[in-house]
Amino acid sequence: MTKLMYLLYPVLLIFLYMENRQDLWKTILVPGLSFLLISVFRKVINQPRPYERWHTSPIMSRDGLGESFPSRHVFSASVISMSFLAQFVWLGILLLMMTLGLAICRVLGGVHYPKDVLVGYLLGVFCGMLLILF
């Protein structure tokens, strides 16, 4: 799912460029700047991951410690989904539903707590709403 999002986002940007759409720059800047802010916030908060606190091995491969809150994978997927929603409503809705699946997998995989993915999802949707509102 993560790889799909990282593949689809450049396709959307190329489409917007080819169509000479005015919202190309905000579709680049809003996700990019919000990703940067989330990354800094995670470093400052630096919450431990479930496998650190419970001394278990996660099902999903994950190197490194801390920076669990909020989930950056889920945030990225949801803000990219919102970028699509701003252009193609049904595709955006489908991608948002798929992002919920990613969030569940991140929790079941043992690399995030439910609050991590919930906040990541909501922040991604909120930041993505800026694309629609402005």
Residues 101-119: tens digit of each pLDDT: 999 999 999 999 999 999 9
Q: From the CB of residue 6, how many other CB atoms can be counted at a distance below 10 Å?
A: 12
Which tokens is 41 given? Answer: 């916030």
Longest dimension (CA), the chain: 52
Is the pLDDT confidence value at 63 over 90? Answer: no
Q: For the segment 40-53, what is each residue's pLDDT rounded down to a tens digit? A: 999 999 999 999 99
**Beta-carbon-side half-sphere exposure of residue 5 (alpha carbons within 13 Å):** 24
Residue 70: is the preceding peptide bond cis (ω within 30°)?
yes
Q: Hey, where are the domains in the chain?
A: 68-134
| pTM score, whole prediction | 0.94
